Amino acid sequence: MGDWDNVRALEGERYPLMRNLFVAPAPEAIRETFVGTIAFMLATNQAIYRLVEEAKYSTANDLRQFRQRKEATQAYSIES
């Protein structure tokens, strides 16, 4: 669980930094690079969110299977 605590902490630091990026328009000299970088960051965020959702689904499925096996084991133990 320590990794998720770190993710939360980093997100808390990242959000204000991201917000500050849009306080003023990007200088013309770097605007194209800035826009490309923001587009890349948004795409990366979406990919991360998809991975997290897949991991949550997989973990929930694993937990459900574990509980079913535990119940089956307990039922067998009671009958024996």
Q: How far apart are the first and last CA of the chain?
A: 38
Q: Is the pLDDT of residue 80 over 70?
A: no
3-state helix, strand, coil in the chain (%, to 5): 90, 0, 10
Based on the structure, what is the number of domains in the chain? 1
Gap between the Cα atoms of 57 and 60, Å rounded: 5
Question: What domain range is 56 assigned to?
Answer: 2-79
Q: Is the pLDDT of residue 79 over 80?
A: no
Query: pTM higher than 0.75, yes or no?
Result: no
Give the largest CA-CA distance in the chain: 78
Residue 44: predicted pLDDT: 92
